[in-house]
Amino acid sequence: MSTEIAKKPLRQVDNVRELLVNDMAKQQLATVAAKHMRPERMMRILANAMRTTPQLAECEPLSLLGAMMTSASLGLEPQTPLAHAYLIPFKNRRKGVTEVQFIIGWRGMIALARRSGAVVNIHADVVYQNDEFSFEYGSDQHLRHKPSGERENPQYAYCYAKLTDGEAFIVLPWPEIIKTRDNSQGYQTAKRYGKLDETPWVKHVHAMAKKTAVRRLFDELPISIEEVSEAVGVDEQRNDFTSFALNPEDGITINGEFTEEDAAPEEEDAAQAQDSKSAADPEPDPKADAKKEAKPKATAKPEPKAEDKPEPKEDDEATKRHRATLNKVEDDLADGAPASGTRKFHAEALDLMKAEAPDLFAQVDAMLNHAEATG
């Protein structure tokens, strides 16, 4: 029987559990996956995701496969302690089935930016009332933030990127963050059904504000790699993942923003609970925002010409070794290893990384700290 299920054509796969052992599903994943994403590992991650999010087992299997293929094509692992991306089940009332929405966390967006080769480091944060904070655009531009430790009365959200040949940053006043929240379809849906307390905008407003700043800065960064463009395009949209699962060469069809008309009220609790983990919610149409007010100013210094876009440099042997350590830590955390044990196991390699590659160490340290905080 198991052999028969493994050999089933995709259209005949009856449920998600059959999908996990289906050979054709693994082949479709391999077709689109980034170099470091193995189909077997993605299926294992999906199995783990079903344990933490049981509603995924009820999803239409091809919709779930298409969402996993999208995640694999971007090189992002969903539903792991890395907090890069999330698969959110929702009830499609028009079709009468449970489908999947793919959402990229702000950490996932930062990971994509770092891979571009143009971004050396990128950081997003929220400024609170008693923090030391100053910024200025123009010839004397600067951005300085020293948190006080008191996370009350937010004033700004910002994102700063150190580029290979300059810097760029954007600062959003808190009223701009609130406007983004109020215009999001997810927040409007929760308000309509009296479930605001379950929305990520209420439970995880700090992370939501940071993601808003990251997305706004993306428009200004000198990065045009395909995966970043694709990520912004599919993030939080109502995508036709079923068609993508069957015909990946045709790309993903975007059917519009995820709205309350698509999600049944009885499914809102599950969807919003998963949404809160991702710190991601649909944002307003930037074209509509542009009509209402001028776009917040971002700055890049200097602004590279199209023909001068930096080519990614090949890593030296030491950097390759440190990146291998980073990947091992990611693998251990994704497989459910405790953060404290992972840090201890790789302690010698991490100490060397801290001395020789502080930027990479900062990524690993943030990853482990996040896993410890959420584990």
Q: What tens digit of pLDDT does each residue of 326-372 get?
A: 877 876 676 567 788 888 888 889 999 998 888 888 888 888 887 77
**Average of pLDDT values for 82-110?**
84
83: left (phi over 0), alpha (psi -120 to 50) or beta: left
Rounded to an integer, what distance in angstroms lies between the CA atom of residue 345 and that of residue 332?
A: 10
Model confidence, pTM:
0.59
**Average of pLDDT values for 92-97?**
82
The string of DSSP codes covering 127-196 is EETTSEEEEE-STT-EEEEE--S---SEEEEEEEEEETTEEEEEEEEHHHHHHHHHH-HHHHHHHHTT-G
Judged by DSSP in three states, 85 sits in strand
Q: What is the mean pLDDT of the chain?
A: 76
Residues pairing with 171 in the sheet? 158
**Longest distance between any two alpha carbons in the chain, whole Å:** 70
Least-confidence region, from 134-148, 264-278, 312-326:
264-278
Alpha carbons within 13 angstroms on the beta-carbon side of residue 62 total 17
pLDDT band at 290 (very low <50, low <70, confident <90, very high): very low
At 88 the pLDDT is 86
pLDDT band at 287 (very low <50, low <70, confident <90, very high): very low
**Higher-confidence position of 313 and 120:** 120
**Average of pLDDT values for 285-294?**
39
Tokens of 247: 């015909």
Least-confidence region, from 122-126, 142-146, 207-211, 305-309:
305-309
Highest averaged pLDDT of the listed ranges 116-120, 124-128, 190-194: 124-128
State the angle between helix axes of 61-74 and 39-52 in degrees (0 to 180), rounded to the nearest 10.
120
